[in-house]
Amino acid sequence: MKNKLLIIIFTITSLFFVSHIYSFQFGVGTRGFVKKVIEKGQEEGKIPKTKEEKEKGKPNTINYTGKLDKLDLSQAKYLFLAPKSTSTTSPSPSIKGAIYKADMTQTEKTVFKMKENGDIEEVNLYDEQGNRFDVNVYYIVKLSTEFISVALEIKGVWIVTTTTQVVNGSTQVVTTEQYFPVSQWQTSVSTMGWVDYSQYQKQYLVRLEDGAVFEGRYLPNDGNKKIYQDMYGNYYYILAWSNSAWWLNYGYGTEIQQGSLLKLNTKDMSVQVVSAQGDTIPSYDVEAFAVDKYGNLAYLSMSGSGYKYRKTTATVDSSSIEHQGFFNYPIGSSNYAVDGLLPIVDINCDGIYFVDRVSEGEYGLKNLRVRKLECNYNTGYEIKITSNVDSVYYEIVNSLSYAKILSIGDKEISLLKTTSEKIIFPTIDLVNATTSYYYEVNYSTFGLVDYNNFSNGFLGYQVVSSTEVYVLIKTQGQQSGRYKYTFYAIYPKEERIEKVFYTEKYEPSQGWPLFSVDENGNIIITATDLDTGTKNVLKITPNPSDPGNTNNITFLQQGNVEIYYLVRVY
Amino acid sequence: MIKKLIFLLILTLLISTTYVESLQIGFGWTLDTGLHIRVNKFELQGVFGEPSIYGLRFYPINKGVNIIGKEFNFYSGVEANYVSSEVLDWGYTAGIFAGLDKAIFKKLHLSLDLGVFFSTVKGWEEFSDWGAAINTKLTWYIGGKK
């Protein structure tokens, strides 16, 4: 009994140590453990790798600022993250095909680009002198066709030195690279004597046109599901928790409250809070706020009451008016509105709309009221009541706030809404205030049985155009333990649905975005081959006449490392 | 080289005392290419290679335990070693361990233990880290009660 107690105490004590230490080496034999410690020290540049290195002495520290200047994005069509292939022991990395390397121990990631011709290259990151950085990249978020946002930690740099040597009587220029981890940078060592690694964990905007890098704070991160852009190049988003760059979150809440709506000015990289003081907005809900191209915004405040809207820019119509105030838009019984959708902006971002269910009029609760928020020089903050919608389908107005917006046309809104039996696709004509189209699809069409299954099986959608939507459905597969993933193209206005592709062999990575659509309507998705375990980037050509045909798949990338944050550059 | 010779000298001296019945003496090798000599609760060990370690183990706890009907010796103790490597100026490692020991053939014992260790080494700079290690040893006991 005593011995058992001793074993238990020993085990618990060991576990306690494991959870409280910075890193943990494991060795077979005490010597094996020591070997691991030495290797770790070598990785950090504190222990020489060879006897010769030791005799030569520690390389001199370099006076180096480590300022990231540019990413080589030339010819990039897609960008993604994958485990990096290079290491500090490999000053001349094999770039092409690096992602194919079976190095499952590599956990640090970097940016890869898929070029027009299908080639994949590791993206090099440079300083102003053309020296190449060794980095660990945490995410890529696409803001627009102009910018992406990345967070990364600089781990070291390969300093390029050019010398001339006389070989067989002729002078030759020889270029060499020497690796310096941040621990050898003079600027990285604090006055207290330790290396301040946190100063190399930063957020950047990267201009897609030329790869130019702009450092900033509170930039969009992987927690942002929706980012708006106005006509002046400003971006609007919620200050969200980052899922991968955990170190970013430590700074949140001190200067800017998490959940605040931010406006990023890319001209000077300044960030301004444009939500009312104390207001927080859910970052996970893509419909919680809307911004039009003039920079007017409306949002649902979690901490305030109802919706708020304001004008954020003074440049509309060349006026010099700066509006600082917020206006409340009532939810609930006020002014007969029962409830409504979150603020919606049309696809051209011309204006913000409120769609409410109202109890007034001949049709009772079946009435919808559409209001357009017009914030220009002439109208100020007047809300223009576009009109009351005549009688619409009861299912549209019932629990309207749970609807999903599939597309917002210039003058109409197409919705996706689930009931206990089916999905409905109403389209509301905002000009004539009528239900211009109505289409419904029963769950049984997708092989789904009930609402719960629908919740689990409806993975996501992408708007291809204002009249076409791709939906990804997950259902039970034919093979035991496997699911069937099916893409449907839905044309609500044509009241038509087509199965365009299905597979049980590939399991999509359920990250964000779930999938994207290229310029030709092909579906781009990262997926795991369940037979072989390979990780793939698939281009799926929709084929309604033969959706199960494997020839519908083109492999943009096949490898054995996970791919993250696939974004289309153009 | 000198360290290895000193170790072998100590080994020879200890073997010469194997007929002293009052001492419990054993010698053997670890599975990561090392040698050790056990004298009562103390064990001198050397594991060779790159890096090499030379150190002492102390076994204050030795208890008989019955696991699935088999008799084992449960032991626990502390260990400290000097680390020698061509890439280091010096290095030390120390830790606590616990494991089981069993006679597998006459006085030949097989032991397996798990330990939590801390190591500090000095190359260009000092570097320290924690970790765990499994040690497996074969020991032939000559004298004593084993």
* Count of domains forming chain B: 1
Sort out which chain B residues have CB atoms less than 8 A from A52's CB and list them: none
Sort out which chain B residues have CB atoms less than 8 A from A14's CB and list them: 114, 116, 132
* Count of domains forming chain A: 4
Q: Which residue of A has its CA nearest to B46?
A: A31
Same-domain check for residues A170 and A263: no
Task: Judge whether A549 lies within some domain.
Answer: yes
Distances (CA, A) of A156 to A12, A65, A125, A135, A184: 38, 11, 11, 7, 9
Q: How many CB atoms lie within 10 A of CB B68?
A: 5
Separation between Cα atoms, residue A256 and residue A244, nearest integer Å: 20
Task: Judge whether B21 lies within some domain.
Answer: yes
Question: Shortest CB distance from B135 goes to which of A3, A29, A57?
Answer: A29
pLDDT of A513 over the 50 cut: yes
Same-domain check for residues A202 and A81: yes
Q: Which residue of B has its CA nearest to A7?
A: B98
Q: How many CB atoms lie within 10 A of CB A208?
A: 20
Residue from A31, A40, A52, A54 to probe the interface with B (highest B Cβ count within 10 Å): A31
- Residue A28: band (very low, low, confident or very high) from pLDDT cuts 50, 70, 90: confident
Task: Judge whether A419 lies within some domain.
Answer: no
Q: What is the mean pLDDT of residues A546-551?
A: 90
CA-based nearest distance A9→chain B, Å: 11
Same-domain check for residues A110 and A39: no
Q: Supply the DSSP symbol for A550.
A: G
Same-domain check for residues A194 and A82: yes
Same-domain check for residues A83 and A200: yes
**What are the residues whose beta carbons fall under 8 Å from the beta carbon of A417, sequence distance 6 or more?**
A395, A396, A399, A400, A402, A403, A404, A423, A424, A425, A426
Query: What's the domain range around B8?
Result: 2-141
Q: What is the mean pLDDT of residues B109-114?
A: 90
Bridge partner list, A490: A469, A497
pLDDT of A47 over the 50 cut: yes
Same-domain check for residues A143 and A259: no
Task: Judge whether B146 lies within some domain.
Answer: no
Task: Judge whether B54 lies within some domain.
Answer: yes
Contact status, residue B108 vs residue B140, Cβ threshold 8 Å: yes
Q: Which two tokens stand for residue A352?
A: 């913000």
Q: Which two tokens stand for residue A68?
A: 């990231």
Sort out which chain B residues have CB atoms less than 8 A from A13's CB and list them: 116
Parallel, antiparallel or unpaired: strands B42-47 and B34-39:
antiparallel
Cβ of A34 and B119 within 8 Å?
Answer: yes
Instruction: Please write the tens of the pLDDT for every residue from A177-188.
Output: 888 888 778 766
Which of A63-67, A317-321, B48-52 has the highest average model confidence (pLDDT)?
Answer: B48-52
Centroid of chain to Cα B89: 23
Q: Measured between CB atoms, does B121 come within 8 Å of chain A?
A: yes
Task: Judge whether B39 lies within some domain.
Answer: yes
Task: Judge whether A129 lies within some domain.
Answer: yes
Same-domain check for residues A80 and A39: no
Nearest Cα residue to A365 out of A334, A397, A390: A397
Q: Which residue of A has its CA nearest to B74?
A: A3
Task: Judge whether A18 lies within some domain.
Answer: yes
Which of A206-215, A219-228, A463-472 has the highest average model confidence (pLDDT)?
Answer: A206-215
Separation between Cα atoms, residue A98 and residue A123, nearest integer Å: 11
**Residue A140: burial class (beta carbons within 10 Å; 0-12, 13-18, 19+):** buried
Sort out which chain B residues have CB atoms less than 8 A from A3's CB and list them: 63, 65, 74
Interface of A with B (CB under 8 A): 2-4, 6-7, 10, 13-14, 17-18, 21-38, 40-42, 44-51, 53-54, 57-58
pLDDT averaged over every residue in chain A: 75
Same-domain check for residues A196 and A74: yes
Q: How many CB atoms lie within 10 A of CB A258?
A: 14
Sort out which chain B residues have CB atoms less than 8 A from A42's CB and list them: 87, 123
pLDDT of A109 over the 70 cut: yes
Contact status, residue B70 vs residue B46, Cβ threshold 8 Å: no
Q: Which residue of A has its CA nearest to B65?
A: A3
Which residues 52-91 of B have a C-beta within 8 angstroms of A? 52-53, 55, 61, 63, 65, 74, 76, 79, 81, 83, 85-88, 91
Q: Measured between CB atoms, does B9 come within 8 Å of chain A?
A: no
Task: Judge whether A557 lies within some domain.
Answer: yes
Task: Judge whether A313 lies within some domain.
Answer: yes
Same-domain check for residues A76 and A12: no
pLDDT of B82 over the 90 cut: yes
CA-based nearest distance A12→chain B, Å: 12
Query: Is the whole model's pTM more than 0.80, yes or no?
Result: no
Query: What's the domain range around A291?
Result: 243-329
Task: Judge whether A355 lies within some domain.
Answer: no
* Three-state secondary structure readout of A254-301: CCCCCCCEEEEECCCCEEEECCCCCCCCCCCCCCCEEECCCCEEEEEC
For chain B, how many residues are written?
146
